[in-house]
Structure 1
Amino acid sequence: MGKRWKTEGREKFEKLDITPKSAQKLKPVLEKWLREAEQRQREGQQHLLEFVGGEPGKKRKRRTSFTPQALEALNAHFERNALPTGAEITRIAQELRYEREVVRVWFCNRRQTLKNTSKLNVFHVP
């Protein structure tokens, strides 16, 4: 087998050197795994891609869509203070009726966007 390392709880293989004999030994195990994955998908327990690539049962949260009014308010808060305290984030989230974590991430993403565009503007020649 090839060199491997752990990443986020899963092993990744740099290179897979499998002989025909070892592939023959793996075939029944892989066929059983594939049957189980397809069965889970048919039963609607989870999408096949989730079963193949991640922890069983762990689903990614849906992306939040902000209303235009919420974006206007968030941008206004950001103009006043790009680094709000935890209490301020909680208050803003309550006012806008979004989860606190969603608002916190919005501020992080907005700061990162500003940082990235500032880097790009350094090389901008009028």
Structure 2
Amino acid sequence: MIKLHSLTHLTMTLYNLEFDDFEEFLLKLCSPLQLFDAKIKSRDRSYLNADRWERFISQNMTSLIRFTFRYSDIIDDEFELTFYHSLINRFTSSFWIDRKWFFKLFIKENELIYSIRPYQYVSRDRKLQI
């Protein structure tokens, strides 16, 4: 794998990739990422483990300033609530709040969408966006 030591911004859209493989890929990049944007559609619900994300970011992405994350969970006949669904409230811990990365959960058609976005201030005439 090519090491990208000067890569500071990365945007990825992933389909059906296990979180373990995703972490391994990011570790092999050896990059001081400052901005990271990930959109993920997968049945691997370990992506919803906020504590795991917190550990990974704290240990391996120490230069990260802006984190945007979107995980889509398909609602179909195979959908079941799992242990990981019970962990989503951890995305509101001080780790996330201190960095001004805010969690949002919404339903769109046949998907549950879990989102982490940075706080954004919009000028006087516009509404506050989170």
TM range (shorter): under 0.3
TM-score normalised by structure 1 residue count: 0.23
Structure with max Cα Rg: 1
Higher relative contact order, structure no. (Cα contacts within 8 Å, ≥ 6 residues apart): 2
Greater strand content: 2
Greater helix content: 1
